[in-house]
Amino acid sequence: MKQSDFLKVVLPFKDKVFRLAKRLLVSKEEAEDATQELFFKLWKSKEKIADYKNVEAFAMTMTKNYCYDRLKSKQASNLTLVHSNYKEKDASLDKKVEYRDSVNQVHQLIENLPEQQKIIIQLRDIEEYDFDEICKMVDMKPTAVRVALSRARKTIREELIKKHNYGVS
């Protein structure tokens, strides 16, 4: 596979790989390292890539596995799960602060979810993968993915309602 063909295959999903890595790792730098490592691995196996039906799903699975390995490593004992994938729109300062607070609340709630629910909510609601692709990436049955996503959303919704109604933080 020529370099130009390789780039045509992998560049369309490079941002998704980075966002998933950033969701799972503590910092932008760690996510950049993970993304670079993934694309290096893909480049080394570029001849095999043509055999894959869905290179993007394969890359996302590799990213997830690499990030989990990093989180388990002794070097990475200080890493935590994070997310800051929010872009502000033109709005008043009050609205921007309110949006930022809302995003931070959701961020905190996602961080408190079980590991499996975190990855599924990232892939479905943020990266917008369909259920079949998610099932392959996390090696779960469609029903289990739907149940985990439903539970994650329900937990977040209930906690947001509780905070909104009672001011509990």
Q: What phi-psi label fits residue 128: left (phi over 0), alpha (psi between -120 and 50 degrees) or beta?
A: left
Inter-residue contact 145 to 139 (CB < 8 Å): no
Angstrom distances, CA of residue 154 to CA of 48, 81, 140, 151, 158: 41, 20, 20, 5, 6
Angstrom distances, CA of residue 4 to CA of 10, 36, 53, 84: 10, 18, 19, 32
68-92 confidence digits (pLDDT tens):
888 777 454 544 444 444 444 556 7
127-165 confidence digits (pLDDT tens):
888 899 899 889 999 999 999 999 999 999 888 888 777
**E strand or H helix that includes residue 84:** none
Task: Enumerate domains of the chain plus CATH numbers.
Answer: 1-82 (1.10.1740), 85-169 (1.10.10.10)
1-60 confidence digits (pLDDT tens):
677 777 787 888 889 989 888 888 867 888 898 899 888 888 888 777 767 778 888 888
Angstrom distances, CA of residue 17 to CA of 3, 90, 156: 19, 28, 24
